[in-house]
Chain A
């Protein structure tokens, strides 16, 4: 909000105060602030929000609650310190633990929203938001210190926009230390894809099962006869692995390396041109399976029943590939590495809808209800797709769930 508008607002408040703003506006402003910031408003903030609501509408009042209008009106940084951190934290660890510490993944979420960047960048940007004390490739300590000292994450000088330089081939959250610690550690790197789908397309593999996809890219470590019964593979395993394995191939050069058993002291590694050993383990489980040669991903889910569930927006012919690789003449989208995969996943209807639904849940304390909230969700989705500005999506949904004046 412009300074002028605030001054006008303050004047209005001084001149007419609550004589104009009624109880209904006050209740609404209180609820908006509670949901967006996570803490009760100060009496001054509440009054200013009421006035802003009358002068410029509810959305403006909500945005005032988030960022205030310093130095005349300071906002509580709770939207960043608390609400967004809690919103993002469960995505950053395999246990989906909301109590986990602030980290570079959750900080990237907070930073992109704070600075109103295209929120799709979350899956492919090379941006990073780092503590003033600096970034540590093999430790989360500086982020934990930020949280423990209650540092103001709304302050660009405290949570500083930076660039991912500790690892080559940066790709949004995929190459954050926290995500690597959670999803590249041990295993086969499929976890990174699965949890990204869960957290950012709001679909677990259960929702995306499709046994009709080609099976040529399923790795050797997947036995085709689990326990000696290939019906299990044909009716279950294949439905995820046929699509998942060729997508997770994008992460073939990444590994989370740690000393001894101390995973908290580990860091992300990237081996350009060299497939990590975890892609080649248990090769005798099905020797004729796929042997990963590089980090070329292929999106088999662009056809089949998942097309309408995900809503891929990048048509195959203009997908993330700058140059089509050999083979794959069915024109499935393909690319090399995590960054292009991030673009493929982020540029989908499901990605936008997922962000809206998650924000809805945070602001309304419930999931949207069919038949009741369709318009609100649709409007929020339109807002998201207009500029991919999640701050506005949050503000809009906080207003929606603030009750009727």
Chain B
């Protein structure tokens, strides 16, 4: 067989690349913006090139995107032209073709950020923005290189997949299965002691209010199992256990700083006890790959940037300035307050802001008022959806005066624009807002575009979709824009409206982006995408098909590849795995791939194994030049060190008949623990039970008093807990009791049969004429039989759970017939003392001078019965169960 050139072109249509949405990293390649439009660097236009014409399109691209930006004397031109002091003539003023050749020697075409020229400027070499803005200059240079290399890309990108050299998987620390093999964890004063001392109120399976993970469980095995994923064995300082205390102040034991030191020491002890071991030999693994080194960068291109006047991609990674890399304007943002740079490009605002000077900002005003229309385009991740009136992008003078502003209010984005339209004030209010019900704003990465045109007014697009109704204020001129305002990101100029979240990209266009262009730019996405190729050539092991050569000249052709990118500062996104062979001339025999797991730094990633269910038959019929897709989903894997150091590998359950051991066996052993509740013997009846009990005792159907019950229902006890029974409950119980007793007494038939000892109680006689026996036998006894539960003639009493009958009768008789004069009572020195009112106290003692109901009315008799009935019902004898 002829020696195979181990390079194949993989033609990917834009749609494939767009799935993962990469922008060419911090460069956003494929721009076709007009450098000369709407402004430009005064330095770069001061020199007019008059040398030989560019030899080809690439040199032409180089000239426009790189050379023209740097050739001025106040940038690189004074030293790096032919014969200059800098030696290397990458901006040769006399010959752009020579400059191109020279420049090629100091750039990295695969990774522009790693170019020698970028590194040199980043280290402090001759930054034209000032000695303290080296990172900004480096960022600019990287952008120029990317744009030069990208050229004017169309919608199709060619990506070259070439064979990779596998890396050996290094030994690593891996938690042993048994806690007994990590004695530091359970040592006196060790991590388990620390956790059970300080965290067990929540993070224990036996806590009153359990919060997982249960690393503070008394069950040391459970605690060990739970803590494993919270300790970073590679970088103990990044352990989740520590991050929560140190960085987030989560329930520190005492002082967070001191606790962090204590905790880290205990974590280190554990880490040191965890042995360094070889990669699990039972795994069926691929060789290793490192993203930054071995990944094949994808330059998506295709972003529509024709009318950009300013753009920030925040690739500085440090310092206090963010540079406009549009190549059009030159607006430097000063970043202040609470913020941090994102490793993937971007700023995380936590109360701080990035602000341009008023003078620089005038460039925006001039350009946007000149066209009378504009678009603000940004990629953001709101920190949450509870922040309100939080300014993301403003061109403002204060909280209530501005030219434009896009802010977040809970789940909404709101777009304010000052114009001469009727009804629009100096704050650009009323704002155009997204619909509450749509919950458009999410705490996820989102592409937001705000457009204003003099015809249609304002529009908001989120993730490519128009999310606002027609602008009621409509379009108008921008002639009332104020030129003394400043562009501010993450806040307003006064700092009163902070927005918390990640801002990864901002572009200002001096034209509106229509739906197609919004969709186009959303599809391009944000961030650098790579292909990572993991060789399976040794597993399939078909010489001449999956690999050729031996030793240093060996070339592998068969790979399982992933699209990989950095999702944020803390994780990698792996998606759309596919099988591909780089051998055009021979295809391996049909085989299957089952169960893919991602490994990192010598062990399987503990979280994020989304490809375990891959189950694919690989054959020529299912294969096309782009490979054979194995799964159309993605998953994330936590970063452990950095993209330049984390060593990934794949482990397979099965490939081509070879098996790897990756499945844990289920062990059925149900176990449970009862809690530690308070032992109680009695409780209160709940609301429905009280209602039913009153009905049972009085024989009045519940439906009869339904209206009263519904009125007091939620004031009755909802739980049986005796300790949760309050005076308010008693008041509701009393109200309900009165309703039942009223219904009973007011029903002539029912009361005649109920209040009877064989002979019915006579409700027609005056209350004070009723004999004690009649009260006792015909009123009290029927009530007490149903509540103290005794039948006529019973001698047994429920003295343990109910009041003694005779005592109850005596109390109630006193209530009815008492001839003493004690009421009312008054409070004297904390005691109630009888005051008296010259009237006998008994309810039935109505026939006396001064009594309001004298002589006793017929109604009084019924009222006394109702009162006594209510006392019996609204009593612990009924209420307790």
Contacts and interface: CB of A to CB of B under 8 A. Distances in A.
Interface of A: 18, 22-23, 26-27, 30-31, 34-35, 38-44, 46-47, 76, 78, 81-83, 85-86, 98-99, 148-150, 206-207, 209, 211-212, 214-216, 218, 223-231, 233-235, 238-239, 282, 284-290, 302-305, 307-312, 316, 326-330, 349-350, 353, 365-374, 377, 403
Interface in B535-587: 567-571, 573, 575-576
Given A41-B789, A234-B638, A228 B383 contact: yes
B666 A370 contact: no
Interface stretch (B117-125, B286-294, B418-426, B601-609): B601-609
Nearest to B574: A288
Nearest to A23: B796
Interface residues of B, number: 112
A320 to B, nearest CB: 16
Contacts of A373: 674
A289 B634 contact: yes
Residue of B230, B613, B680 with highest tally of chain A CB at under 10 A: B613
B667 A307 contact: yes
Contacts of A215: 607-610, 635
Residue of A150, A316, A350 with highest tally of chain B CB at under 10 A: A150
Given A228-B381, A238-B607, A366-B679, A43 B790 contact: yes
Contacts of B575: 288
A366 B615 contact: no
Contacts of A223: 442-445
A212 B606 contact: yes
17 contacts: A43-B786, A81-B688, A207-B210, A216-B611, A216-B635, A224-B636, A231-B638, A234-B570, A287-B19, A307-B668, A309-B672, A365-B683, A365-B721, A366-B679, A368-B674, A368-B677, A373-B674
Contacts of A228: 342, 348, 381, 383, 445, 501-502, 568
A46 B789 contact: yes
Nearest to A372: B679
A93 to B, nearest CB: 14
Contacts of A47: 791
B798 A30 contact: yes
Nearest to A357: B674
Interface in B134-175: none
Interface stretch (B63-71, B511-519, B695-703, B747-755): B695-703
B693 A98 contact: no
Nearest to A212: B606
A39 B692 contact: yes
Contacts of B653: 329
Contacts of B691: 82
B615 A329 contact: yes
B794 A43 contact: yes
Nearest to A312: B668
Contacts, number: 275
Given A148-B703, A303-B666, A40 B635 contact: no
A150 B703 contact: yes
A366 B677 CA distance: 7
Given A41-B789, A98-B718, A225-B444, A231 B570 contact: yes
Nearest to B384: A227
Given A230-B570, A303-B666, A330-B613, A18 B794 contact: yes
B445 A216 contact: no
Contacts of A226: 443-444
Contacts of A150: 695, 701-703
B631 interface: yes
A27 B790 CA distance: 12
Contact of A209 (B212, B502, B674, B701): B212
Contacts of A285: 442, 444
B442 A225 contact: no
B243 A231 contact: yes
B445 A39 contact: no
Nearest to A76: B696
A46 B786 CA distance: 11
Contacts of A207: 205, 210, 212
A284 B445 CA distance: 8
Contacts of B703: 148-150
Interface string B589-616: 0000011000000000011111111010
Q: Describe B's contact surface by its main secondary structure.
A: loop
Given A211-B229, A230-B570, A286 B677 contact: no
A225 B381 contact: yes
Interface in B659-680: 663-664, 666-680
B498 interface: no
A227 B443 contact: yes
B211 interface: yes
A84 B212 CA distance: 32
A372 B653 CA distance: 48
B713 interface: yes
A230 B567 contact: yes
**Top 10 A-B residue pairs of the complex, sorted by shortest distance between their CB atoms:** A288-B634, A311-B670, A223-B444, A365-B683, A228-B502, A228-B381, A34-B881, A38-B689, A150-B702, A367-B677
A377 B674 CA distance: 9
Residue of B212, B230, B638, B697 with highest tally of chain A CB at under 10 A: B212
Contact of B680 (A211, A227, A327, A365): A365
Interface string B795-834: 1111111100000000000000000000000000000000
Contacts of B500: 227
A145 B680 CA distance: 36
A33 to B, nearest CB: 9
B573 A227 contact: no
A217 to B, nearest CB: 8
B568 A27 contact: no
A13 to B, nearest CB: 10
Nearest to A236: B212
Nearest to B720: A365
A215 to B, nearest CB: 4
B463 interface: yes
A86 B445 contact: no
Residue of B19, B685, B693 with highest tally of chain A CB at under 10 A: B693
B104 interface: no
B721 A370 contact: no
A214 B607 contact: no
Contacts of B576: 288
Interface string B762-791: 000000000000000000000001110111
Contacts of A35: 881
Nearest to A81: B692
Contact of B571 (A23, A30, A230, A282): A230
A212 B228 CA distance: 11
B612 A308 contact: no
B878 interface: yes
Interface string B8-20: 0000000000011
Residue of A27, A148, A284 with highest tally of chain B CB at under 10 A: A284
B360 interface: no
A76 B688 CA distance: 14
A286 B576 CA distance: 14
A328 B595 CA distance: 9
Interface string B625-639: 000000111111010
B671 A308 contact: yes
A83 B230 contact: no
A284 B463 contact: yes
B677 A82 contact: no
B795 A18 contact: yes
Contacts of B613: 214, 216, 327-330
Interface in B46-103: none
Contacts of A227: 381-384, 443, 500-502
Nearest to B697: A40
Nearest to B694: A39
A309 B634 CA distance: 30
A143 B54 CA distance: 86
Residue of B595, B609, B638, B796 with highest tally of chain A CB at under 10 A: B796
